[in-house]
Every structure is written in structure tokens, then in C-alpha cells.
Structure 1
Amino acid sequence: MKYKKLFLMATCLAWLAGCTPTEEKQESASFQVPVEYYKLDNGLKVILSQDKTSPTVVIAAYYNIGFRIEPKDRTGFAHLFEHMMFQGSENLGKMEFIKLVQQNGGVLNGSTRFDFTNYFEIVPAHKLETMLWAEADRMRGLDITQENLSNQQGVVKNEVKVNVLNQPYGGFPWLDMPQYANENWYNAHNFYGDLEDLDAATLVDVQNFFDTYYAPNNAAISVVGDFEIEDAKKWIEQYFGDIPSAELPESPDISEKPQTEEKRFEKEDKLATKPAIALAYQMPERNSAEYYAMGLLDQILVQGDNSLLYKELVKENGYAANVNGGINYLGNMFNYKGPMLWMFNLTYDNTTEADSIIQSVDDVISGLEENGVTQEMLDNALVKIRSSLYDNLGGFFGFGRADLLCSFALFDDDPSRINNIESEFKKVTVEDVNRTIKDYLRSSNRTILTLKPTAETQN
């Protein structure tokens, strides 16, 4: 996993340039992301979104395989395979894909998430055809050799050691909490992978994984930016159209049973000098009214220095310097498919008791439940989440838009949902939010994980 959050915050003012204040208000309220969606005969989902404000294009390839459904005896395999995708294909040798992008003034990356593995390039607009050809070349077939596999097994194991095993707070809480809070193996195993499982991967495993999950009928391609629609369609058909589809396996059951009792766990960290705590609540079903209500509650409770938990835990009690939190620590509340946690965490001084922090959290949530969320609080949350949404859509040269388009294509077969997000939040009523507090922010729906420092020097 090369990054946890790729949405670099940027504004959408370019879309509104030249408007008077009244026009700006009307334009921002009615702005629609251009979406042209179709499928190739081999099942590849294609989403085109033209935006000529910058002479660049984003090409994003998303595959419907993430941490959740990797083989049970090959933990970390989805992530290992992400690395394999940069090791060469039929017409591009080892690392030549990366050189191709960088030598043409572009940037690229890839990541493995809960429900997808993605690859993207941002390049000057006139290099669109080149990058479509390159993405198709590695979708068509990788250079799968023992040398490449052994090399990347070493790279991934080193990444696990550097980012998790030999790092204070390594994996806390984004990697740890799902393993404690969830019951279904698909949601609860070590996504980064056990080192023994990584070592056990064979060439046959790699080839079977590629043939099964990296087929066009298990993928979505989005193009966002400065390009001509007909040119893009022609090149996509030319380079991707004859890649054969695959017979996809039946999707496993990734559902979680409703949580009925609070869970508490403690983890020791020999490198940490201060304790930390994370609280996670099971999320409502994706796209339900309660799901959108939780998005607004996230804004009310943890997002920004005007949030209730920030005020209580940081400003009032001084337990921590900050409170981090959100829905889906490996992305955002829109780019996942299965069960999810709403979570927040903080580090605190050794003189503070974890129970004091938990009691303060309970005071805030019980106060919300007793007094109810007001319309003013809801309106402020709508402003914050709308700002965050448009930052994401405009961020990183349009990658935020490409991400949501591919996610909605993969999970909903409907990338135009990108234009309904704001209206769905506006449908949420005070009654919806107050009901969601009672149903989902109850102590019996949460898991508490405390990290105990065991380093010799503690402050």
C-alpha cells in the first residue's frame, strides 16, 4: 500500500471562475460532473469525464479485487500483486512503465484497498493514447517470472517491517482495528499479510490470480481531463477491446453480523512512548439513509477543530493535541463496498487514564442522544461535507473524480452517482440523524482498542 490518503485537498474555484457572487452560488449548486459511461464487449467498464481547465489527463484503472477477498492462505496477496503490476509486460520491460510516465512529465501510483486495487497516471493531455496503450499492455499480460516474484516478495516484506513491525504505532489503528472489530475473516485478517504467507506465494498462485482478477470484465477504466471523447473511445477500443474476459468466481460472503456487545482490547507497542486509543463503531449499510446520516455525524463529531469531540478531548480536557477520525481510513466514505467502521483515535499522556477519555466520549454522545442534533448543527455539517466533497472532486488534477467514477462503476454499475452525493446528504433530516445516533453510536456497537507503550523511555 503506497498511500493511505491520496486525496490532496484543492479547491474547485477554477470551475467557477468569472462568475459574479450570485452566479457563483447558482453555478456551484447546479454543477454536474460530466459522465459518459459504457462497456466494451469484453465487459470492461469505461467512464469518460471531460474537463479542459488544465492540459492534463488522469487515467485510472481499478480492479475489483482488494484485501477482503484475497485467498485465505495467502494473506497480503492482493497487495503483493499490486507490486507485481510494475514488473513488466509484453512490450514494456521491468520498471519501463514507470519510466514511460515520468519521462513524459507525469506521475503515477497504485494502491490496494478494501475492495479494489487501483493504478493511475496523470500525464500531459497529448500523452493520453500512450498511457492507454501502456495500461492495456499490462492488463493483457504480465511478465510473471520467479525473479520478479522473489524480488517483490522481498520488497513487500521489507515494507511490512518498515511501516508496521519496526514503526511506533505501526498499523495503529487502520490495520489493527479491523482485526479486532470484525468477526468475518474476510474483513478481519491481516491485510498487509503474514510474512509466512507472503513467502509461500508461488508462480502458479500469481498466474492464477492475474488470470482471474485482472480481466477486463473485473475492471473499470476512467479518463478525466483535457481530451476529446471520440479519440478516447477509439483508443480504448483499439487497445483494450480484444483482451479476453475471464470466468469470475462467485463473490464470498463479506457481511458482518450485527454487533451486540462492546469489545475492548489492549495491544502492546515496544516502540511507542505514549499510549493511544481508538474507538470504532460498525457503520450502517452503504447508501442507506443512516449511512448518509453517519457521514454528517462524522462532520459533527470529529472533523475539524469545531467538532464536538475535538472540543471535548482537546480544548476542554487537554487529553491530546488532535483527534483523527473518519469513515474508511484507507480512502473515504464512498470508495468501499463491504462493511466499514467509523473510527477515531488519539495519543495521550501517560498520566491520563483511558477510562477518562472513554467517559468523555460517552458524555458527548449521550448528550447528543438526549438533546438531539439541531437543524443548525445539521446545516453546518452539510456545509463541511459539501466542501470536503468538492475538494475531493477537484483534488490532485482530477484524480479524486476518477476515483469516485471507478468506484461507483465497480460497486454500483452507475458512475453517475457522483452527481447525486450532495442531494443524498440534503435528504437527511434531523430525525434521521437522531435515530442513527441511537441505533449506531451505542456502546454495544463499538470496539475500543488501547495501545500500551512498553518502550524504555516514556514521556
Structure 2
Amino acid sequence: MTASDERLRHAALPNGLRIVARRLPGRGAVGVAVNYRAGFRGEPEGRSGMAHLFEHLMFQGSAGFGAGGHFGYVQRLGGTVSGNTFTDISDFHQVVPAGNERRVLEMEADRMQHLILDQERLDVQRRVVLEEINLKVRGAPYGGFPWTVLPRAVYSGWHNAHNGYGDEADLMEITVQECRDFYASAYAPGNAVVAVAGDVDPGRLVDEAVEVFGGLDDRGTPKPPPLDETPGTSPRTHHHRDALAPRPALAIGRPLPAPSDIDRYAAFVVASMWLTGNDHSPLRRALDARGVPCASVCGLFGPWLAAEPDTFTFVAHHDPGGRNAVVDLFDEACERLAATGDDGIGPARRQAHVSLLAQQDSVLGETRALARSELLFGDPGLVRRAMLATATVPATHVHAAARELADHRGRGYAELTTEGQA
């Protein structure tokens, strides 16, 4: 129990699994999220796409449930179920009417210990993943841009820089034995967190989860791959050709402070909101006047969704020859923010705060935040505290963030060119 929140309970099992439960009264529903430290950066080198492929395989049957059985059972309860693969996390989550959470825990424990992996399942899901890549990346304008390409401009190490969706050659070489080895380590209890939030008694829920998961084998806790990198002294550029894109695009990225350094990281979240968060944001207005849509975000998928290093991302879709003007306007806006007073930063603070809390203001959002907060940072409350911190981050921190964003050292560029460009 934490001193600050009597509705929160947590436990660590001898097999390494961590369990977190929080009561959210009056919701009538319960969220269950199982997060594994098995995202893109946890893939074996030379096996890009394995983490995403494994997300699919986790729904293809375990000892107690056939292929699709997990989906079917949760839906028959009146619930919803899904999974996502991110930079450092594979996230499996469901929401069910209150009172059904134990059965969901039992299904999650079954596939954590008894997932069925064979050649037929691998072949089918490999085809599904390759078709998804063909549809969403190769077959769509700006498909996967910038998150599949920007990391190679920002980072040099394979785990940080590679395309997490996966290269076809890598995916085709994955064997059943490699899948079994990946499952044995990356999907071990010691590499996972189970989080439950909603209309539950946290103490009872933790006791039940201990019963359900306590008998699972201790398969150890894999050591995360080395991710630390020294930022370069000069910017790097990665060129990407997109035959379907109607106009060029530019993405700018740079490493962020450690997500656990809440105030510094929150300052970049506020800076991003100030730059492009709404129609009145200075950088968005300047680029809109040139017919150039833009957006920025902390993290490739959102703030506090990855371990260190995380990536600030800015994207603009411009006319041919407009790349340098975009960079100049980005730099000018950052310099302007570095000189903006507290009153001028206030609206961005408030919008960042409200926007982040709105994303979490549900049983599912709270549950997933609990899981990743404990898994990535060893603190189930860090993500929520971080979101709250955006409302109060000092202007001096935002100024420092703006100066870092304006500094070209350590910056990466992903330049998307169209079929007709030289």
C-alpha cells in the first residue's frame, strides 16, 4: 500500500511478476492490462518486426483457449479486448463488467505460461503482418511516417534505430524455435506487470492475482538491450522515398530527457503544445499561412510511453523546395518560446494537462497507465503524477526545453520525397 493512495495495492511474486490494482469507484467496469517489456527495442537484432508479430501470436491459442478464444470469451462477457506493440512495451488489455475480472486473469495467466507456438500459427500470422505492412505502410501515402524511419536519423544503435514494423526479409527468417525462445524470456512473468483498475477491492484483487499467477514458472528476468547513446554533434538525415505521397514531408527528432525526470520531460510536452497544439499555436499558424500542416509530440507514440531514450517528434508536409523554410520557422518558433513569459506559456500548460488527463479518464486509460508506469519506471503512480506536472512546470524549464529544441546538435531529420522529386 502507498501512503498517498489507499485505493492502490501492489505485490511482487517470487516468479518476478508484479501486480498493481487500483479502485475506481462507480465505474461499473474493470480494466485488466498485462504489459510485457517486449516492444520493438526488445527484439533480437536482425529480427525486426518480431515484437509486433508476437502480439498477433498471443491471440492464437494457449492450452486452455483455442485461436481467437480470448477475444470470444471477453466479448461474450460484454467486454472489449485488444493489444498494442510500442517502443518498449507489448500491451494486452481488456475492459469487462465488474465481477468478471478473475476469469480474465486466468486467461492471461494461461497464455503467459502455455501459449501454443507451431509452424502453422507462425506462417498464418506472418502473412497477416506482412499484409498489414503492405496495406498500412507500402500501400498508403505517408504510411508509417515518421515513426518507422525517423529513429534511424536520431540514433545509431540497432535497437533504437530500426523499423519496428519489420523488414520483410527479417520477418521471413523468423523460425518457430526463435519464437519459442523469445516467448520463454520476453513473455516470462519476471518481464511483465499485471494491472487492474475499476470497481474492485484492490486488496482482494491482488490476493486473487497472486493465486492465479503465483504458480507460473520463474523464467527469469531478461536484461533490456543497451539503449544508452551519446547524441551526435551534428544533425543526421535519413532520406525516404514515398511514391504515393502527394507532397514532400519533413520530420525533426531529438532525444528527450529521461521520462522519470518529470519536470524536464513535462517541459517538452508543454513546449510541443505551445508550438503546434492548436490553431493559435505560433508555429502552426506560421506554417498554416504557407499551406503546410504540421504537428509535434513527445514520444513516437505519445508522452510517457517509452523508456529512455524517448524522442521528440515534429512533422510538416510541405511543397517541393520548402524544407529549409520549415526548419527556419521551427527554429524561430523555439527561440520565441525561449523568450516567452509565464503568462504566454500558461495556456499551453493548461491544454497539455487537460489533454493528457482526458486520455486517461477512463477505466482502460487508467489501467494501461498503471501497467506501463510500473513496468517502465518501477512506480505505478509516475505516469499520473507526470501528467499532473504539466499544469505546474516552471517557465524556466520550458525555456530550457525550447533552447534544446532549437539546438541542431543531436537533431535528426527524416526527409520524405515523392515519386516525382529528384
TMscore range, shorter length: over 0.9
- Aligned partners of 2:352 and 2:391 also within 8 Å: no
Alignment partner of 1:346: what SS?
Answer: strand
Residues 227 and 104 of structure 1: is their aligned pair in 2 closer, same or farther, counting only changes over 3 Å? Answer: same
Do structure 1's residue 342 and structure 2's residue 335 form an aligned pair? no
Do structure 1's residue 251 and structure 2's residue 224 form an aligned pair? yes
Whole-angstrom CA distance in 2 between matches of 1:109 and 1:33:
29
> Which letter maps to 2:31?
V
> Which letter maps to 1:35?
L
| Residue 65 of structure 1: how far off its partner (Å) | 1.4
| Deviations 1:324-382 (CA, angstroms, capped at 9, x unpaired) | 2201132x2112112122112122344x622222222222223334xx13111232222
- Aligned partners of 1:300 and 1:308 also within 8 Å: yes
Whole-angstrom CA distance in 2 between matches of 1:357 and 1:66:
32
Whole-angstrom CA distance in 1 between matches of 2:14 and 2:304:
28
Residues 33 and 354 of structure 1: is their aligned pair in 2 closer, same or farther, counting only changes over 3 Å? Answer: farther
Whole-angstrom CA distance in 2 between matches of 1:271 and 1:110:
29
Do structure 1's residue 388 and structure 2's residue 355 form an aligned pair? yes
- Aligned partners of 1:59 and 1:223 also within 8 Å: yes
Match of 1:284 in 2: 257
Q: Which moved more, 1:131-140 or 1:222-231?
A: 222-231
Alignment of 1:75-94 (within 5 A): 75-94=48-67
Whole-angstrom CA distance in 2 between matches of 1:32 and 1:325:
34
Unaligned runs of 5+ in 1: 1-30
Alignment partner of 1:445: what SS?
Answer: coil
Match of 2:290 in 1: 318
TM-score normalised over the length of structure 2? 0.93
Alignment of 1:350-361 (within 5 A): 350=320, 353-361=322-330
| Residue 32 of structure 1: how far off its partner (Å) | 6.7
Which of 405, 409, 414 aligns to 1:444? It is 409
Match of 1:302 in 2: 276
| Residue 155 of structure 1: how far off its partner (Å) | 0.9
- Aligned partners of 1:272 and 1:455 also within 8 Å: no
Alignment partner of 1:68: what SS?
Answer: helix
- Aligned partners of 2:84 and 2:90 also within 8 Å: yes
> C-alpha root-mean-square deviation of aligned residues, in Å?
2.1
- Residues matched between the structures, number: 417
> Which letter maps to 2:285?
K
| Residue 269 of structure 1: how far off its partner (Å) | 1.1
- Aligned partners of 1:35 and 1:415 also within 8 Å: no
- Aligned partners of 1:87 and 1:143 also within 8 Å: yes
Which of 98, 112, 121 aligns to 1:148? It is 121
TM-score normalised over the length of structure 1? 0.86
- Aligned partners of 1:284 and 1:440 also within 8 Å: no
Residues 244 and 304 of structure 1: is their aligned pair in 2 closer, same or farther, counting only changes over 3 Å? Answer: same
Match of 1:22 in 2: none
| Deviations 1:36-69 (CA, angstroms, capped at 9, x unpaired) | 2221232211111111222111100000111112
- Aligned partners of 2:16 and 2:221 also within 8 Å: no
> Which letter maps to 1:319?
G
| Deviations 1:46-97 (CA, angstroms, capped at 9, x unpaired) | 1111112221111000001111121012111111111110010011011111
Alignment of 1:45-444 (within 5 A): 45-288=18-261, 289-314=263-288, 317-320=289-292, 322-330=293-301, 332-350=302-320, 353-369=322-338, 372-394=339-361, 397-421=362-386, 424-425=389-390, 428-444=393-409
> Which letter maps to 2:279?
D
Whole-angstrom CA distance in 1 between matches of 2:260 and 2:272:
16
> Which letter maps to 2:331?
D
Residues 382 and 33 of structure 1: is their aligned pair in 2 closer, same or farther, counting only changes over 3 Å? Answer: farther
- Aligned partners of 1:335 and 1:403 also within 8 Å: no
| Residue 423 of structure 1: how far off its partner (Å) | 5.6
| Residue 418 of structure 1: how far off its partner (Å) | 4.0
Q: Which moved more, 1:97-106 or 1:34-43?
A: 34-43
| Residue 148 of structure 1: how far off its partner (Å) | 0.7
| Deviations 1:266-322 (CA, angstroms, capped at 9, x unpaired) | 3221111222221222212333343222122112112122222112111xx2332x3
- Aligned partners of 1:67 and 1:191 also within 8 Å: yes
Q: Tell me which stretches of 4 or more aligned residues in structure 1 moved more than 3 Å.
A: 31-34, 422-428
- Aligned partners of 1:32 and 1:419 also within 8 Å: no
Whole-angstrom CA distance in 2 between matches of 1:241 and 1:402:
21
Whole-angstrom CA distance in 2 between matches of 1:420 and 1:340:
18
- Aligned partners of 2:331 and 2:406 also within 8 Å: no
| Residue 445 of structure 1: how far off its partner (Å) | 3.1
Whole-angstrom CA distance in 1 between matches of 2:40 and 2:319:
34
